[in-house]
Each structure stands twice: as structure tokens, then as C-alpha cells.
Chains A and B, each alone.
Chain A
Amino acid sequence: MTDSNAAQMIIERKHATRTMLIGIYSGLVALFICLIGMVETFGERDIIGGIISMGHTMLIIIAIGSGAIAVKTLREDMSTPGATINKTSFVVEIFVGVTAGLIVGATLSLFVFATELVDMRSVLINVSPGLLEMLTLQKPASQVMVTMTVLGSLLGGIGAAIFNIAPRIRLPLVLGLTSIVSLGMLRDMLKIVLTREGWPSVLLNFLVKNQGLSIAGGTTIFATTVALVIIWPHLPVIYDKTVRIIIAYVPKVLQFSVGIIFAITLTMRVFWFIAISDKDLPILPACQTADNSPDVGLDKCISIVSNDISTTTDLLGTNLATLVSTIITVSEMLIGTFILLCVIFAIWNIRQRVNTTNIKSTLEDPNNALLIIAKRNISAFFGVSLLVSLPILLGVFPSEVLLNVGLYMLMGFGLNIVVGMAGLLDLGYVAFFAVGAYSTALLTSPRASIELGMSFWAALPIVVLITGATGLLVGAPVLRMRGDYLAIVTLGFGEIARFLFLSDWFKPWLGGAQGIILIPPVSIGNIQLIGPHKLYYLIITGCLIALFISARLRESRVGRAWMAMSEDEQVAETMGINTVYYKLLAFGLGAMIASLSGAVFAAKLGTIFPHSFNVLVSITALSLLIVGGIGSLPGIIVGALVLVGLPELLREFTEYRLLIYGAVLIFMMLSRPEGLIPRVRQTRKLDDQELNQDAWLHDETEANNGPSVTVT
């Protein structure tokens, strides 16, 4: 045997060990989620009705994942400089995948076998007959052991194979499967939405079958996703063409009037929804807390609701109401047709390139200012209309989820000022949320100690000021602290705030553990915003304002000062930035935005307790920043949807919420430390760093003739 062969053996052994380790880890993860009861809980939810449950899907994903990770690691090992073997073959990769999957399967089958021998239930309560039934599909353990192992190897092999498919096919395939799993998981939500009036019932019957999706539904979803993925890259082109055609052919007057009609229609729809429509009788939030406070009985809640409805229907006569709804429907149909025509025309235009000769210059000029403005306006228009129509389309329960997402998103924007922009790690952010909620309660509730009973809107400015002042109060003592110390101290502050609200000391004012009850709902004129589908509009307005403020602050003198301070405090100070002032400013502004969220929270629940304001709120707010990408504004939106929205949609999650949080955070730190949607600047830095150094050396020889390399 030659030397190089010997080296090859060692490296292969290294790879074999690595592969086995990956298999063992994956197997342990699979075992772990079985033992903590996750698989069984999730097993109750079918993805495809009667065929495959979510619990099974989780195990399958782990087995496939082990194969994929094993191959990925193998490739990475081989691409490191100095590796003796730097090329794998398909067969080797499949073999590696199968090995990893086999170990996963074997681990589980050994577990099943072990349960036959000893009764684990006395120690591990989650090893229930239900779980075993799921794993063995009601067959005796001895029979399934081989099947499970073979199945595991098969899945591992599939994982390895996925790595070998061309990305062109892999992407639609993976996304299609993912969308089946996600929609299957969201089956309850799908049912709730699709049973609402306005959605055709055929759709529901077609997609959903008792426990999960129907086979036809699953196939359709898969096909739709694949089609979408394929069309996706062409969408910007179609959009671009559509806008160009509108600019070139549609007279200004028509453009304008369609816009106006669109806006009016939308406004009327929303108004109709908030004020008149009584189809969505909300589960009044105040009623949920009825058990805790003897004063608010269920009958009272119902009377509030019916009051609400009678006053609002009185507002407009029935005839008028019918008229309004007709107008809305007709104008929506008109606009729909118009847009559809434009899109069809655009697609047709792309196909018939010959025609472009006689089209005005607007259709060709890439940097047409009008075009850019028009595109921006149209995007904003559709964005706003989508946001505004969500509760109308989805109904009460999904709106509740959106409302919670909104509450956290608003907090996220506030916390982003403190953490993302000013670089101050604050783990006690819940304190400001709580102060916002409590001061709203104190000022508006007629039952509160000071008996002011102000309206929400009158109280809001005072709430914001009070909370802002609290921000300064908390900020002042921690001015000299940095990083970890700051985090620990603010964590303490958050808890102190909760204890203060709980304390006997403040009980006469803040009600101790009983909290403050009978916080009136927010009202605009005669309309009371009761129920999440109406409060949604309030929180979305808050979020948009916070987004606007954040975006503008970031690109300003203040934002630069914060950023400089977060990168190097001492240098910032030496360059003329009063860091004390800017730290306090960040704490104050962050607190103010949190108070908005707190105020809506108080108005939403009608009753607040100290226990709502625990450290988990701070952690969730911070986690959504990390997951989204610290300092990235779109990241906050995505982070809130993922970390707050998803768990609310999947009620099984609640028990395992923190476990999944932890797993997600670790995963993010390992594979995407910059977050899901990183700040653009950061990615650019990584990509262009080398390029730039080279460009500079290049210039040196060329004697200052300006940059020879252009970077876009």
C-alpha cells in the first residue's frame, strides 16, 4: 500500500466516524422528541388525513435531514484546503446518507425493542402506548424493527439524493413538500378561514379531510407551489411591464380615478367591517377574564357586545347599508377586471416582442423616474390594501394571532432602537411594556384608584410620556455599563418592575395580584374597537408608525451617532458624540414605543395582571430581533411572524414553545448568525471585502485614475 493510499484510509475512517456521529446525534434527537412527548402530541394532528401525521413527519424529516447533513459535512470536509480526497461520487454520498439514516432507524427500533423488555413508563411518563402505537403502527415490535431500520436507511438515502438533484428541480420539490407540511399543520386555521362567509365551501371540502389535508388537496398544494416557484423569477418582469403599460397607455385621468375608487372602496370595506358588519361576533376578551373578576359577568360582556352592535347598525340605516355593500362589490369587480386586463396585456406584450417598436419610450427606458415612482406607489397601494384586508379575509381568530404578532412587532421596533441601533443589550424591556399597560389602565379604567376614566386617546400621550420618563430612569443608573453587565442589570430591572406591580406597597393604586380591571375598549367616534379583528387596525397603525420612525432615524444624524456608539463607544465619544445623551435617548424612545404596545395590550384584554409581564416577554422580543437579523427592519416583521405567529397558530406548540425557541436560536446562531433578513450592509461587507483590497492594489499601480473596478 502506498503512502497516499494510507492517507486515504485515514481520511475515510475520519469521514465514517463523522457520518456515524451524525447518525447517532440525529437518532438521539429523534429519541428525545419521542421521550418528551412531542411526537405523540404532534401525532394527533394529521398532515394528510388518515395517512401521515405531523409526529411521523417530524421523524421522517430527522431521518432525511441526517442523510443530508452527513453529505453536506462530507463535502465541506473535502473542500477544505489540504484534504487528500476532494471529490465524492454519487454512490459514496448515497452510502453515507444511508448509513446516517440507518443509525437513526436503528436507534428508534432499539428503543421500541427495549420498551418490550422493560416498562419504562414509571420513569419516562411519555413512553405511552400511544407513542409506541405510532412508532410501530400497531404491529409487534419484533416485526417492525427491521422495517424501521430499512425505512431509516431509505430516508437517509433520500436525503443524500436530494443533495445530488439539480437545484432547478430541488427547490420546487423541497418547497412543495414544505408547503404541504405547513398547510397540513395549519389545517385548523385553514378550516376556520375557509368556513367563513365569502370563501367557497367547495374549496374547504376539497382541501381538508377530517383530520388533515385530503390527498387531492395535498397534490394541488404541491402543484401550486411548484408552479409558483417556477413563475416566481418572472414576476418582477411581468410587474415591470404592467406598470410600464399603465403609464404608457392608460390616460392619467383613468389612472387617477381607478386609484381614487380603489382607495374609497377599501376605506368603505374597512369601515363596513369595523362599524357595521356584525357577522363576526367577537369572543369579547373581557369575557375571558370573567372568572378572575367577579364584577364582570358574562351577561355583562354580552350586553356590551350587543350595545356595540345596535349603536353601530343604527348609525346607518339598513337601506344605506345594502347600498354601500353593493357599491363596494361593484367597484371591486371593476378594479379587479382592470388590473387583470393590464396583467394579461403585459404578459402578451412580453411574448410579442415585435410590438415593442411602436410603444412609447416609457416602455423601454430602464431608469424612467415616472416608472420608479409609479412602481413604488403601486407596491405601497397593494401592500396597504393587503394589510387592511387581512382581518376581513381571515376572521376573528386569525386576527387574534395577527394582533399578538403586531404587539410583539411593535415592541420589536422599540427594542431595535435600543439594541439594534444604539447597541445596548436590554433584557428588561418588558418593564416598559408593563408601564405602558399599567398607566393606560390607571388613566382609563373607571375602577382604577385614581378614577380618572379618561378615554384611550386622551390617555395615550400621557402614557407615552410617563413610560419615556421611566426609560430615562432605568437608563440613568446603567449608563456606565456595557454588554453583559448591562444585560444582567436590565434583566433585574425587568423583574423588579413586575415585583413592584405585584407588591402590597403599590396595591392601593395598582391592585397587586388582582391587577386593574374594566379597562374600557378603544373607541373612535361611535365605533368601539372590540375584538382582535378591529384592534388589529390600531396595532397595524402603530407598527407602521414605528417602522417609519425607525427607518428615518436610522438614516439620520441621530442614527449615525447611535451606530457609531454601538460600534465603539470610546471613539464615538472622542469624535464628539455625547454618548450619555444618546444612550438616554435610545432608552427613552425605545420605552415610548413599548408603551404604545402596552397601551393596546391593556385595551385588548380589558384587565391586566402583573403576571402578564414576565421575563419571557423580553426574551421573545429579543429573540425575534435575533432571528430576523439585528438592526434589520424587515427582519423584525419576519421575526415576529415566525416566533410569535407560528406558535399561536399551532396550539400543540405551546407546551414545547421554549424548547423550540431554544432550538431555533441555536440553529440561527450556527447557520445564519446574521439573521433571516440581515441588514444589507453586512452581507455586502462579507462579499466584497477581498474584492476591494484587490481593487485598491490595482489602483496603486494605475496611478489615481479613479476606480477601475465598479461594484454594483
Chain B
Amino acid sequence: MNKLFECKNLSKDFGGLTAVNKFSFDIEEGEIVSLIGPNGAGKTTFFNLVTGLYPPSSGMIMFKGEDLIGLSPYEITQLGIARTFQAVRLFPDMTILENAMVGQHCRSKSGVLGAILRPRSYQKEEERIRNNAKEQLAFFGSRLMGFRLDQPAASLSYANRRRLEIARAMSTEAKLLLLDEPAAGMNPKETIEIAHLIGKLRDERGFTILVIEHDMRVVKDVSDRVVAMDYGGKIAEGTYEQVATDEHVIEAYLGRTGIEEQDNAN
């Protein structure tokens, strides 16, 4: 078996609520997989389990043949999984360049003594970190470059913050990128662009990508495979067309909407 990523019977309980329920699936190297599902289906929770923010209640997660359970988030990042957050979480007071440079942290070594004495090796590493960060930022054209490099992240527009978050994840030199709703809050033009960029991330930069997305146009454009989730479990898997026409999926979306409408009516 040559799966890049694999999880089996993964579950997470929050008190009485089972947010992720015996969820199993895998990703092959070089794939772009979309994870869809109605609100509260447990998609973000699944990301949190994979990146080590929550310990799973049961099940197993393997990445590049290594067991991720019990590892700290930073160790998981070191192994090659990086993510973005549904509600953008940058380091607002740090500059754009610094935000991207932080991503390189797990690929560099220098410590306190190096920082104080600044030997050649330190300077070289610092230079490398800086160049790498700039390279990632340049992926998004000139929007994060030039004078913006030294501006605090909080000064960016919303769409640019999302881009910077992706750049930061790219800087970690990860193998697998987990993108949590990268197109949320973007205008139609920007959404098309993001879909295009996700393809480029795989084709040009060689990332394997798992993306949570609500915008079905994006899902349709980018995904090799789509996994649908509801009540923490997997309800469908396959190509976009297969999943989009799956009756469980339609029911999950419509059913939930139906309940909402009822709620609104009350």
C-alpha cells in the first residue's frame, strides 16, 4: 500500500456529541481531494484531529507510513502536513514577510547562540529562510510583495489574508496541504482565481491537497475526488459527478436545509 495519507475508523466525541464518527479514507500522493458536507458535519474537526490539535477518541491516522496519533501539532507539521484555518488565523502584528518566514521554522535550526553571535551559518540560514518566504509570497503575484512585505498582516484585505495564510502553509515545505474553505468570503472573480491556484499548487509545486469547500464550482473545478461527510461519517465518495448526484448527499444538504427552514418558520 502506497498511500500518502490514511485514516481508519477515526472518531471524536465532544461530551455527548460525536463530531467525527468512524471516518475512514485515504489520499494518494499528488491528488486533490475535496471534503464537502453541510454545516457542522465535522470537517473542521477532522482537520483538527489530523493536525494534532485534538486527540482522537479512537481510530488511527497514518502519514507517510508513520502513526500520527500522540504526536504534537509541531511534530506533525515537521513530518509534512500544513493547514490553513476556516477563520483566517495569521499573526496579525507580524509583518507579511515574517508570517511567511515563521512557516520555515520547522525547516531551520539556529538557536539562541546563533541569533546572538550571528556566525556565517546563521546568516546563510536566515537568508535562505527569507528567500524561501519571498518565493512562496511571489506565488500570488505582486499582491503580497514589494512594500507590503514589511507591513503587518493585520493591514491586509480579507482576500490577501487568505492568500498569506496559504503562503505560510506552503513555507513549511509540507507534502500535504489542508485548506479549510480557502474561497470563503471571496468575490466570484477571486474564487475562480483561488480554484486556479489550487490546481497550480499541485501541478507546479507538487503539493497533495485536501480542501474543504462549500462553493461547488470550486469543488467541481479542482477535485480529482470528492468525499462527502454528514454527522461525522462518510456518506459518499467518488468523482464530483458521482457525489453530486448521490442521493445521500442530496438528502443531507436538502434535509438540513429543510430543518433550517422549519426553524426559521418557527
Contact = CB atoms under 8 A, between A and B. Distances in A.
The answer to whether A and B assemble together is: yes
Interface of A: 548-549, 552-553, 556-561, 563-564, 567-568, 570-580, 585, 589, 681-682, 684-685, 688-689, 692-693, 696-697, 699, 704-707, 710-711
Contacts of A693: 155, 157
Contact of A560 (B92, B98, B116, B154): B98
B142 A557 contact: no
Contacts of A558: 110-112, 115
19 contacts: A557-B126, A558-B112, A561-B102, A563-B93, A567-B94, A568-B89, A570-B53, A571-B89, A571-B91, A573-B73, A575-B103, A575-B105, A576-B103, A589-B112, A689-B155, A692-B151, A696-B156, A699-B143, A704-B142
Of A573, A577, A699, A706, which is in contact with the most chain B CB atoms at under 10 Å from its CB?
Answer: A573
Nearest to B106: A576
Interface string B107-144: 11011101110100010011001000000000001110
A564 B73 contact: no
Contact of A707 (B118, B148, B168): B148
B77 interface: yes
Contacts of A560: 94, 98, 101-102, 105
A125 to B, nearest CB: 50
Contact of B73 (A574, A689, A707): A574
Given A575-B172, A576-B77, A699-B143, A556 B110 contact: yes
A567 B168 CA distance: 15
Nearest to A693: B157
Contacts of B83: 574
A465 to B, nearest CB: 14
A576 B91 contact: no
A585 B116 CA distance: 14
A576 B73 CA distance: 7
A707 B89 CA distance: 25
Nearest to A692: B155
Interface in B16-35: none
Of B111, B112, B156, which is in contact with the most chain A CB atoms at under 10 Å from its CB?
Answer: B112
B31 to A, nearest CB: 22
A706 B152 CA distance: 19
Nearest to A710: B147
B152 A573 contact: no
B152 A685 contact: yes
A576 B74 contact: yes
A561 B105 CA distance: 8
Contact of B74 (A578, A682, A684, A692): A578
A697 B157 contact: yes
A633 to B, nearest CB: 15
B62 to A, nearest CB: 19
A681 B95 contact: yes
Interface string B67-97: 0000011100110001101000111111100
Contacts of B95: 681
A571 B85 contact: yes
B188 interface: no
List 6 A-B pairs, minimum CB-CB distance, nearest first. Answer: A576-B106, A556-B115, A576-B77, A567-B91, A685-B152, A692-B155
Interface residues of B, number: 53
Interface of B: 51-53, 72-74, 77-78, 82-83, 85, 89-95, 98, 101-103, 105-108, 110-112, 114-116, 118, 122, 125-126, 129, 141-143, 146-148, 151-152, 154-157, 160, 168-169, 172
Contact of A549 (B116, B122, B157): B116
Contact of A696 (B102, B141, B143): B143
B157 A681 contact: no
Nearest to A551: B116
A558 B118 CA distance: 12
Given A564-B94, A570-B53, A575 B147 contact: no
A468 to B, nearest CB: 11
Given A574-B51, A589-B112, A707-B142, A685 B93 contact: yes
A563 B91 contact: yes
Contacts of B102: 560-561, 564, 572, 575, 577
Contacts of B103: 575-576
A589 B98 CA distance: 23
Contacts of B156: 692, 696
A563 B95 CA distance: 11
Contacts, number: 139
Contacts of A575: 74, 77, 82, 102-103, 105-106, 168-169, 172
A576 B105 contact: yes
Given A575-B77, A681-B95, A557 B85 contact: no
Contact of A573 (B74, B110, B129, B160): B74
Contacts of B115: 552-553, 556-559
Given A575-B74, A575-B168, A705-B142, 11 more contacts: A557-B105, A557-B110, A559-B115, A561-B105, A563-B91, A575-B102, A575-B106, A577-B106, A578-B74, A580-B72, A685-B154
Contacts of A707: 142, 146-148
A442 B42 CA distance: 59
A699 B114 CA distance: 40
B152 A564 contact: no
A333 to B, nearest CB: 40
Nearest to A548: B116
B140 to A, nearest CB: 10
Contacts of B110: 556-558
A580 B129 CA distance: 23
B130 to A, nearest CB: 11
Of A549, A567, A585, which is in contact with the most chain B CB atoms at under 10 Å from its CB?
Answer: A567
Nearest to A711: B147
B116 A553 contact: yes
B143 to A, nearest CB: 7
A113 to B, nearest CB: 55
Given A558-B111, A692-B156, A579 B126 contact: no
B116 A681 contact: no
B94 A684 contact: no
A570 B47 CA distance: 14
Nearest to A545: B116
A552 B116 contact: yes
Given A568-B89, A571-B85, A577-B74, A684 B146 contact: no
Contact of B112 (A553, A577, A689, A706): A553
A696 B89 contact: no
A591 to B, nearest CB: 14
Contacts of B77: 574-576
A381 to B, nearest CB: 23
Of A571, A693, A697, which is in contact with the most chain B CB atoms at under 10 Å from its CB?
Answer: A571
A564 to B, nearest CB: 5
B93 A681 contact: yes
Of B52, B83, B155, which is in contact with the most chain A CB atoms at under 10 Å from its CB?
Answer: B155
Nearest to B79: A576
B253 to A, nearest CB: 30
A580 to B, nearest CB: 8
Contacts of A556: 110, 114-115, 122, 126
A574 B155 contact: no
B106 to A, nearest CB: 3
Nearest to B77: A576
Contacts of B94: 560, 563-564, 567
B101 to A, nearest CB: 6
A568 B88 CA distance: 12
A684 B53 contact: no
B92 A567 contact: yes
A416 to B, nearest CB: 15
Contacts of B142: 699, 704-707
Of B52, B92, B105, which is in contact with the most chain A CB atoms at under 10 Å from its CB?
Answer: B105
B72 A578 contact: yes
A683 B126 CA distance: 26
Contacts of A571: 85, 89-91
Nearest to B189: A700
